[in-house]
């Protein structure tokens, strides 16, 4: 820290750090955004998995019918 003080850098207080990071509202907003992205990605994966299963079922039915 003493080397940084030579350049005029000052240490932030806990309140200043909290304000810089957006406070509790900024953390909440970021957390909700990440959760939404995670749920959306998993919903897409689930839909693709279901579509693959249905396509496989259709292929099996077609083969069973002799086509």
pLDDT reading at 66 higher than 80: no
Q: With a cut of 70, say whether residue 18 has pLDDT above it.
A: no
Per the model's pLDDT, the better-predicted residue between 29 and 52 turns out to be 52
Q: Is the pTM of this model over 0.85?
A: no
By the 8 A CB rule, do 27 and 21 touch? yes
Which residue did the predictor score with more confidence, 52 or 23? Answer: 52
Locate 24 and state its tokens. 């509790």
Residue 58 has pLDDT above 70, yes or no: yes
User: Could you tell me the end-to-end alpha-carbon distance of the chain, in angstroms, rounded to an integer?
Assistant: 77
Mean pLDDT of 11-32: 73
């Amino acid at each position: 820290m003493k080397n940084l003080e030579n350049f005029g850098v000052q240490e932030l207080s806990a309140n200043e750090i909290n304000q810089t990071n957006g406070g509790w509202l900024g953390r909440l907003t970021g957390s909700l955004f990440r959760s939404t992205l995670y749920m959306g990605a998993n919903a897409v994966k689930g839909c693709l998995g279901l579509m693959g299963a249905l396509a496989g079922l259709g292929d099996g039915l077609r083969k069973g019918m002799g086509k």
